[in-house]
Amino acid sequence: MLAFRAARQHLVQRAPRRRLVAVVRDLVGVQAQVPSAASLSLWARVEGISPETIRQALQRRKTIGRFWCLRGTTHLVARRDHRLLVDALGPEVGGLYRVLRRHGLSDARFREWAAAVRTALASGPSSREQVREILATWFPESREFIGSWGGILRLLAQEGAILFGPTRGNESTFVRTDQWWPAGSTGRREADPVAALLRRYLRTFGPASLSDFAYWSGLTVAAGRRAVAHLDREVTEVRVGTNRLLLLERDRSALESAEPTGALRLLPNFDVTLMGHRDKDLYLDRTRYKEVFRQAGWVSPVILLDGRVIGIWSHRLAGKALRVRLEPFASLPRGGRGRLRGEGEALARFLGAERAVVDRS
């Protein structure tokens, strides 16, 4: 099963550079609350790209966008999937709307402020602070509802009205979706967007439970159950150990024929593979859980072998060298250190370092 998941998540063989957007689509988004980690998630799956490749896709070709969606967190999403994610998830996912209501944000006030934000962004990209100051000139009480955590800007993004725009140095900007992307380019409306999202999820992260789908998406298990009913015979159950998990019926033969290949990857913080399932036991030894899923929601970079976490790692630039420190949980497989050294060298090229120094703790 892990070999099947790894292949679907492009962790067995890297995709060619021309398929960058297709990989983002296959993953249904790449978590990007730490933008550098999102870039490394794509590096681990796509051959021959650089940070500039990703920047061009975001800011020049505009085939990818960044906004708050799954679990209420920021993701890189293919333009053609924007409509699906907005329709399936909406502003309630992540719980922020509920929190802001408790702090006095009425629906009527939000609508008024949302219109003002659209007006503020009509002239082009603006930073969070610029939007905050413009809005405060009309509604002084709005200041406390726009912060580093997004506030009403996050709700507007989850509704599909705004996106993160081009960066200015280390500063993010926001843009109106209808000005950044051409009309009709963000995907079609689905009759049942949650069912369509579940279908996409199972194709990449299946076999999985409804609890896994809820964890990954931020939706409820009940919403997932209704989606299963809508998909009807498209979805089947398979037994994995003592668990009965959901799988697309058309993927049954691919699952049964999947075999481990010995593929090794260095995955970054918050990689989509780590965020795809509530139940981690199938790919992570329970005794190692706290080394990967740390306090305050931090998720460590991991070493992955055939879809299973076998260690953690870190990296830092030291002059012209990239130092990569490996911390495997046990002995590496035969030839594993050499292959990980190759991954370290590939990472050095991606980050613009002249060489890699790969050490094991």
Tell me the pTM: 0.96
Q: What's the whole-number mean pLDDT along residues 170-185?
A: 95
pLDDT at 217 over 80: yes
Nearest to 65 by CA among 182, 168, 152: 182
Distance CA 263, CA 240 (A): 22
- pLDDT of 262 higher than 90: yes
Instruction: Return the axis-axis angle of helices 82-89 and 152-159, rounded to nearest 10°.
Output: 110
Please, how many CA atoms are within 13 Å of residue 193, restricted to the half-sphere of its CB? 15
Q: Angle at Cα 170 formed by Cα 180 and Cα 276, nearest 5°?
A: 70
Sheet of 173-176: strand order equals 30-31, 74-78, 64-68, 162-164, 173-176, 126-127
**Burial of 300 from C-beta contacts in 10 A (0-12 / 13-18 / 19+):** buried
Q: What is the spatial distance between Cα 144 and Cα 148, in angstroms, rounded to a whole number?
A: 11
> How far apart are the C-alpha atoms of 350 and 55, rounded to whole Å?
13
Owner of token pair 């406390």 = 144
How many Å apart are CA 192 and CA 171, to the nearest integer? 37
Q: Three-class SS string for 2-52?
A: HHHHHHHCCCCCCECHHHHHHHHHHCCCEECCCHHHHHHHHHCCECCCCHH
Confidence of residue 83 (pLDDT cuts 50, 70, 90): very high
Contact predicate 105/142, CB 8 Å: no
pLDDT tens for each residue of 118-173: 999 999 999 999 999 999 999 999 988 998 778 999 999 999 999 999 998 888 99
144 vs 199 pLDDT, higher one: 199
What does the mean pLDDT of the chain come to?
A: 96
pLDDT at 289: 97
Q: Which two tokens stand for residue 186?
A: 């963000």
CB of 160 closer than 8 Å to CB of 180: no
Q: Which long-range contacts (CB under 8 A, 24 or more apart) does 175-183 make?
A: 175/121, 175/124, 175/125, 176/118, 176/121, 176/122, 177/65, 177/82, 179/121, 179/122, 179/124, 180/62, 180/65, 181/62, 181/65, 181/79, 181/82
Neighbours of 210 (CB within 10 A): 20
For residue 149, the model assigns a pLDDT of 78
Nearest-angstrom CA–CA distance, 84 and 194? 8
In sequence order, what DSSP letters do the residues of 76-124 get, joined into one string?
Answer: EEEGGGHHHHHHHHTTTTTSHHHHHHHTT--HHHHHHHHHHHHHHTTTS
